[in-house]
Structures are given as C-alpha cells and as structure tokens.
Amino acid sequence: MSRMRNKIIWTVVILWAAYGSGWGQTAVNGADILLEPGWRQIYDDYLPDAGSIEKLKTRVAGLRVEVYFGFWCDDSKNHLPLFLKIIDSLNAPEFKVDFFEVARKSADGQRYYVEDLLVEKVPTFIFYANDIEIGRIIENPKDSILGDMMQIIL
C-alpha cells in the first residue's frame, strides 16, 4: 500500500512541477470579459485617441500580450475594458492577446498569482516581441492604458 501511495505522491509532485505555473489561472475569451456586469459600459463609454491608435497600428505586428486579471478585482474592472476597446480599435488580428483569469490568492503568504512570471498584482499586461518581454503594465498604468502601451510599443 505504501508503494502505491508513494507513486501517487510522486505523480502529483511531477504534475505540479510540470504544470504548476498554470494552476489558479484560466484562459478566457476576450469577448466573454465584456459579459461581466458593468464592464461593457466602461468599454462602450471609452473613446481612445484616434491618432494614438493609428501610431500603434503600424507597430503591433508580431507582438503579443498576456493579460492576467481577476473578475473580483476593481483595478481589472477599471482597466481591462479600456484595453479591450484599444485592441478592438486597432483591428490588427496579427496582434495576439491572451487573457487569463486568476483566482484570488489562497493563503496570506502567497505572493504571486503566477509565480514563474512574477505576476504579483492584477491586472498585469505583459508585452512580448519575438517571445522576449518588452514591458509590463502592472495594476494601474503610470499614465493611461493607451499611454503606457505607446511607451512600451513605440
């Protein structure tokens, strides 16, 4: 019986090591985010600057963004609908964006939502070029979502 228990323990440890960074997060379709009450109104009310959108549009090919957020998080609610409106305004299918909902931190001592990426606060927007991180917007932008995106991308 103890051999079976040891095999189970080792299997769990191996699975945790192999997939541990994905625990506590769920891939989400961007359109589904706007189904959350109140989020759609923020999206609809926001009009990104057309000149900034045109500048970004020329530079987003080949870039991708990973967005980590929580439906339970007010900062996510304040910033994610704006980001979605910017993405939709860019109308650039070659600009890849993946959304990941994270669970609340389960323990007082838990520092990261996604440990291997050092995602400590949400929302976190991680920008990549050629699979190399080129910048982040963490929790609240320094300027605005659009302004911070321009600083990272341009």
DSSP secondary structure string for all residues of 112-135: -SBGGGTB-SSSEEEEEETTEEEE
What's the rounded Cα separation, in Å, for the pair 69 and 88? 18
Domains of the chain, residue spans = 24-153
pLDDT beyond 80 at 121: yes
User: 138 forms bridges with which residues in the sheet?
Assistant: 124
Q: pLDDT tens across 50-106, in order?
A: 999 999 999 999 999 999 999 999 999 999 999 999 999 999 999 999 999 998 887
pLDDT beyond 70 at 129: yes
Strand order in the sheet with 25-28: 25-28, 96-102, 63-69, 124-129, 132-138
C-alpha count within 13 angstroms, C-beta hemisphere, residue 61: 2
**What pTM was computed for the model?**
0.83
- Report pLDDT for 18: 37
pLDDT beyond 50 at 127: yes
- Report pLDDT for 24: 66
Q: pLDDT tens across 3-47, in order?
A: 555 454 444 333 333 344 445 689 999 899 999 989 999 999 999
Q: pLDDT tens across 110-119, in order?
A: 888 888 999 9
- Report pLDDT for 11: 42
Which CATH fold would you assign to the domain 24-153? Glutaredoxin (3.40.30)
C-alpha count within 13 angstroms, C-beta hemisphere, residue 153: 25
- Report pLDDT for 27: 93
Mean pLDDT of 133-140: 98
